[in-house]
Structure 1
Amino acid sequence: MALDQRKAPLFEALVAHERLRAGSYHVPGHKARARWGDERAAAYYGSLLGLDVTELSDTDDLHHPEGPLLEAQELAAECFGAEETRFLVGGSTSGNLAMIVGLCRPGDLVIAQRNVHKSIVHGLMLAGVRAVLLSPEIDRLSRLATVPTERQVTGALERYPEAKALILSSPNYYGMCTDLSPIVAAAHRRGVPVLIDEAHGAHFGFHPEFPPSALRAGADLVVQSTHKMLGAMTMGAMLHMQGERIPRAAIRQALSMVQSSSPSFPIMASLDLARWQLYSNKERTFSSAINAADRVTEALEKTSFRALGYGKYASPGIAYDPLKLVLFDETANLTGFALRDELEDLRCVAEMADEKYVVLALGPGTTLEDGQRLLEALLEIADRGREKRMATKHIREHMFESGENLSIPEPVLFDREEYEAVAVRLEYSVGCQAAEWVIPYPPGIPVLFPGETITEGIVDRLKRWRHEGARIQGARDPQLREIQVRRDKDG
């Protein structure tokens, strides 16, 4: 039976159920009534609770879909160009965990990009696999990391023909990506499936100004955070599958293990609506956001601020997402952290910042007024002419060494074994093995993971993150004065 992209079957089923006004003698306990004794809470949540139901005869079951949820997922697969799509209510994290655990067995070897999100690393740990970690290519202009080069990947595939998967993350947090097609083709020639964490690229391929999607490049498994750059609610994501190189039944089983048995129907219905919006509005879905970005970037010449991906700050061979405004101060008088703080003072809240860049994420909900507000804030910051909080000019150091300059590394075993640890001053930790995660968030990419040897370069970078007040996850001391390292066997 032909699918009808004009429908939003899951959302429509929830609305129809709410209109029944049936007595609720099932979970959830709120019974669609916001009775918390707070008028503000009732005003915010009242209309939403009617859609917050459970698995009923007319609402379907995420773990065994047969009705409107099955149809919604089939519509999503057709829309995004996959053979099969599964809704995720735990963000891309749940999809990343499931695709690794479903594909791999303990002791298997995979080839993975070094600068992946922590959820990928957690998936490697849960699966108990050995991973060959390839350093990414470093864009010379921006000093930002992308994916490993085709040459690096091919070398690793030749050295480790037993690899069960190639795991990459694209685009990066800054909206930058390279052509994945040659890398995917190289893996497929050796029968190796390609898994892509495309959390920030759910919109790719839906507008001429966007890069192509990883599915279009031929990837076998692709995870997308539909809530990040499309219109779904937070935690709404999708796992797309295609081809015969992956064990789909095992991946579905892994999804049932890592996803809640009581998934949020409002989140799932918002995934249905995000897909419906793409079908209904086509490229117009992004018109306001792109126009807002154009309004800002066209006026930056009046300031010292510049946008990555525009003019002389665009690298050949790199595709840039126009919905990620990556701004920096060309004079280096303001770091990315400082520019973020200045913007927040003017009630423009950015997605993230590092020592050079501030990243502002736009989306289908962005309006021209949002672009004008951001522009006015940038002009005001420029007019202040303040040079406090910063910086001698410097070339931005990147978090990783470029893979083109390195040999193929030995595999690292990822497990959940606990090791005895001791705290040492960060300055004295060089040469020790880390016993904890150190994860600046965002972007959520580990600078250190347990078992990795701490180098002088890592210590220097951590000092800069500490100095700039970055938010650190994983470390017992979030101020990074001390770091946990593995105690030597000899004590």
Structure 2
Amino acid sequence: MIPLNHQRAPLFEALLTYVNNETIPFHVPGHKKGVGMDQAFREFIGTNAMAIDVTVFEQVDSLHHPSGCIAEAQKLAADAFQATHTFFCVHGTSGALHAMVLSVLREGDKIILPRNVHKSVTTGLALVGALPIYIHPEIDSLTGTALNVTPATVEKALQDHPDARGVLVINPTYFGVAADLKAIAKLVHQHNIPLMVDEAHGPHLSFHKDLPMSAMEAGADICAQSTHKIIGSLTQSSMLHVQGERVDHRKVQAALNLLHTTSPSYILLASLDVARRQMMTEGFQLLERIQFLSHQARERINAIDGFHCFGAENLGSPGFYGLDPAKLTITCRNLGISGHQLEEILSKEYHIQPELSDLYNVLCTLSIGNTQEQVDSLISALQSIRKGYGQSPILSCSETDNVILPPLPLQKLSPREAMHGDTHLLPLWESIHHISAEFLMVYPPGIPLLCPGELISEELVRYIETQREAGLWIQGTEDPRVRHIRIVQASHQ
């Protein structure tokens, strides 16, 4: 087989040819290479970007029925990411996960998945009418965050539900924690069902031997990646990878055609094409840089009294098989301020914007675009903050050493039935014995206490009130104060 030429970017090259030919646009979009665009916006964005914002025609191919430059670009991406088939997505990894669920499951099918899956997975289940079988990830006692699921937990779920039609796992988690994906794939395939992976935070894993194993390398059948999260494509652009015969790639294309816009952004598509080229030609060196910056950042953060940033010392503990160095979880629980306060201080006083925060932590994401100077600025800010705070911890370690979650609620309806049924709001204490139509989560650890279709118990409501009194962040309901919750009307239960 002739090796593919990863120096090329077929889609981007086709767009450049269109521009260099000075093609006269009698096609949409209406701004016509930026000429009709608001002047201030055009000057800020630049005319080059406007020039490649085109529509579907033969020269630039069709995302729904690729046969030219998009097909070539996707073939190169499949080779780069060790897949059999790769699909470009311009509706984010949320849309890619919807397509994954639609292409694998049918109405009434059971799927085993972690309780802390992204809500787009659950809404995907609502689209297809599938039934979730939830398993709990491990919890880190210091940070309160969800780690990953263990092979033993997956194996137990497969034994309890031999009729499951698939297993979905997250790899790595938002906080960078990887599962023993190879062992999980082996267990799942013993049941001759597909392993599906939400790899939104792992598009870079294939390009460096020292990173956790990627889903495709571990033997997963299908995975969705947010190419824009760590490597260089634009926000909202993602990829969906398939390998083997357990998932029909034709069904994946059909699901994407059902969900995708018929007017995809060629700017986003081109950014996927060149991101693949960049990683195949420069990826190893770029990821070496991330690992260098991450290693020194961890050491410097851990040298500041009151802060902690977990790392390789946790490897081998349950649910902690690997760690993506791009994620810096900065725990400030012993400093006297919450993670939310730390994020606000960093943002407003130091113009540093973290990825997210919860009660105890701030998460900072490194990527191929971060520099030494930026890491230095983060460390300097943390050192300054330490001088101004750090009077007493917000909670002693002993108070939250064991994060105890209530038992999983009873699943009375499918997510589809709950989310599509007639609903109304009730005060939280009056909702006991009713079926939830909403999600309810507490941070940390960010695991849903309640999902659509589940029965609300008195024990659960008491737990929510206890966590509220402890200062934890509760969210997910239509009511931002979580004093009311939307429930399914009795006639639809």
TM-score after normalising by structure 1: 0.90
5+ residue gaps, structure 1: none
For 1:395, the equivalent position in structure 2 comes to 400
- Please tell me whether the aligned partners of residues 335 and 390 of structure 2 are also in contact (alpha carbons under 8 angstroms): no
Are 1:161 and 2:162 an aligned pair? yes
For 2:237, the equivalent position in structure 1 comes to 236
For 2:60, the equivalent position in structure 1 comes to 59
The CA deviation string for residues 430-470 of structure 1, in whole angstroms up to 9 with x for no partner, is: 54422223467999864432222335456645775798695
For 1:340, the equivalent position in structure 2 comes to 343
For 1:321, the equivalent position in structure 2 comes to 324
Deviation for aligned residue 1:124? 0.8
Instruction: Say if 1:143 and 1:458 are closer, same or farther in 2 by CA, change over 3 A.
Output: farther
Letter matched to residue 150 of structure 2 = T
- Please tell me whether the aligned partners of residues 328 and 336 of structure 1 are also in contact (alpha carbons under 8 angstroms): yes
Deviation for aligned residue 1:410? 7.2
Q: 2: CA distance between counterparts of 1:176 and 1:333?
A: 26
Q: 1: CA distance between counterparts of 2:20 and 2:205?
A: 36
- Please tell me whether the aligned partners of residues 116 and 446 of structure 2 are also in contact (alpha carbons under 8 angstroms): no
Which aligned pairs between 1:40-59 and structure 2 lie closer than 5 A? 40-59=41-60
SS at match of 1:275: helix
- Please tell me whether the aligned partners of residues 141 and 315 of structure 1 are also in contact (alpha carbons under 8 angstroms): no
Q: 1: CA distance between counterparts of 2:482 and 2:129?
A: 29
- Please tell me whether the aligned partners of residues 220 and 241 of structure 1 are also in contact (alpha carbons under 8 angstroms): yes
Q: 2: CA distance between counterparts of 1:168 and 1:434?
A: 24
Q: 2: CA distance between counterparts of 1:34 and 1:399?
A: 59
- Please tell me whether the aligned partners of residues 409 and 454 of structure 2 are also in contact (alpha carbons under 8 angstroms): no
For 1:476, the equivalent position in structure 2 comes to 478
Q: 1: CA distance between counterparts of 2:433 and 2:224?
A: 36
The CA deviation string for residues 324-376 of structure 1, in whole angstroms up to 9 with x for no partner, is: 00001252512211211121121110101111111111111111111111111
| Deviates most, 34-43 or 66-75 | 34-43
Deviation for aligned residue 1:242? 0.5
Instruction: Say if 1:199 and 1:442 are closer, same or farther in 2 by CA, change over 3 A.
Output: farther
For 1:357, the equivalent position in structure 2 comes to 361
Instruction: Say if 1:138 and 1:385 are closer, same or farther in 2 by CA, change over 3 A.
Output: closer
Deviation for aligned residue 1:225? 0.5
Q: 2: CA distance between counterparts of 1:257 and 1:10?
A: 23
For 2:40, the equivalent position in structure 1 comes to 39
Deviation for aligned residue 1:216? 1.2
Deviation for aligned residue 1:222? 0.7
SS at match of 2:147: coil
RMSD of equivalent CA atoms: 3.1
Q: 2: CA distance between counterparts of 1:399 and 1:337?
A: 22
Q: 2: CA distance between counterparts of 1:216 and 1:400?
A: 33
Total equivalences in the alignment: 486
Instruction: Say if 1:440 and 1:94 are closer, same or farther in 2 by CA, change over 3 A.
Output: farther
Deviation for aligned residue 1:246? 1.3
SS at match of 1:215: helix
Identity %: 32
Among 448, 451, 457, the alignment partner of 1:449 is: 451
Higher relative contact order, chain-length normalized (CA < 8 Å, sep 6+)? 1
Which aligned pairs between 1:205-244 and structure 2 lie closer than 5 A? 205-244=206-245
5+ residue gaps, structure 2: none
| Deviates most, 84-93 or 413-422 | 413-422
SS at match of 1:216: helix
- Please tell me whether the aligned partners of residues 423 and 482 of structure 1 are also in contact (alpha carbons under 8 angstroms): yes
SS at match of 1:101: helix
SS at match of 1:250: helix
Instruction: Say if 1:407 and 1:458 are closer, same or farther in 2 by CA, change over 3 A.
Output: closer
SS at match of 2:416: coil
Letter matched to residue 361 of structure 1 = T
Which aligned pairs between 1:245-260 and structure 2 lie closer than 5 A? 245-260=246-261
Among 425, 435, 451, the alignment partner of 2:427 is: 425
Structure (1 or 2) with the greater helix fraction: 2
Letter matched to residue 424 of structure 1 = L
Which aligned pairs between 1:378-393 and structure 2 lie closer than 5 A? 378-385=382-389, 387=391, 390-391=394-395
- Please tell me whether the aligned partners of residues 309 and 315 of structure 1 are also in contact (alpha carbons under 8 angstroms): no
